[in-house]
Amino acid sequence: MTERTVGGLRCSEVLAQLSDYLDGELAKPEVERIEEHLLGCPNCERFGDNFGSMVVSLQRQSDRSEAFDSDLVSRLLSQIDQLNPES
């Protein structure tokens, strides 16, 4: 797949920061750029079913409650690893 730049980030840059994003370890401007990318990038939208929206909603859920499906996150991250063997 061809990388795209959306929200000022390339797909690989978003993927590299994805676990920090999900852990809530990124500053707000970085979070916003990643969300802009995930929601606006056709490549990232196609990971799994609406991968981008799923990741964003997961992260927002984790802000509000302790209920965080870490199994789902692990599966998402392993999917990403398969898509990006070099990372």
Shortest spacing between CB 66 and Zn ion, in angstroms: 29
Binding flag, residue 9, Zn ion (CB under 5 A): no
* 10 beta partners: 5
Task: Specify the residue for token string 């995930």.
Answer: 38
The span from the CA of 41 to the CA of 64, in Å, is 26
Other C-beta atoms lying within 10 Å of the C-beta of residue 40: 13
The contact mask relative to Zn ion for 23-62 (x = CB under 5 A, - = no) is: ------------------x-xx------------------
Which residues would be at the binding site for Zn ion (CB under 5 A)? Answer: 11, 41, 43-44
